Amino acid sequence: MSYETRAKAIMKVSNVVSNTQMPTAFISDGGLSDATRILGDYHKHAMNEANKAKDIEQDVIQALNGLRADLGAKIKEIKNLSGDFKNSVEKEKEGTKRAINAYEESLQHYEHADGLDKGRSDPFIVRLNVDRMVERQIDEENYLHRVSHVFIFFWCLG
């Protein structure tokens, strides 16, 4: 906008300078008529520069503003997708670790035959719990892996 205002002001001055008639009494070379010619050339050059600035603003700046808006939209999309990557892999790892520790304890009690290997602490039953926890951990890790591949695929498309 400021470039348009400046170009209009320069155009007015340029029109005044170019429509001014120099009296014949002035020296045509090296006198006041040269000053008006120099001013006319300066204003033409300034007007061309103002028009170039206007063109740059219209083409480049508006395109960059469009790209900035697109980038902002993509950032919002990614932030909205961050909830999809919430997972409980660490929680499942801890559960697996606890189940393995319980299994080791049940095996120690079984080896010593101190009678604590009955019921819930029977090594076979504890082993079933370890298998279940490992399966849950693998399922959670596979889910995270699939979701990340889908995200990367759509990110590359978009």
Per-domain residue ranges of the chain:
2-81, 87-157
Question: How would you write 83-139 as a 3-class SS string?
Answer: HHHCCCHHHHHHHHHHHHHHHHHHHHHHHHCCCCCCHHHCHHHHHHHHHHHHHHHHH
Other CB atoms within 10 Å distance of the CB of residue 126: 21
Confidence label for 96 from pLDDT (cuts 50, 70 and 90): very high
Does residue 133 surpass a pLDDT of 90? Answer: yes
Confidence label for 100 from pLDDT (cuts 50, 70 and 90): very high
Structure tokens at 55: 């063109």
**If you write DSSP's letter for every residue of 47-85 in order, what string do you get?**
HHHHHHHHHHIIIIIHHHHHHHHHHHHHHHHHHHHGGGG
Higher pLDDT pick, 135 / 157:
135
Does residue 131 surpass a pLDDT of 70? Answer: yes
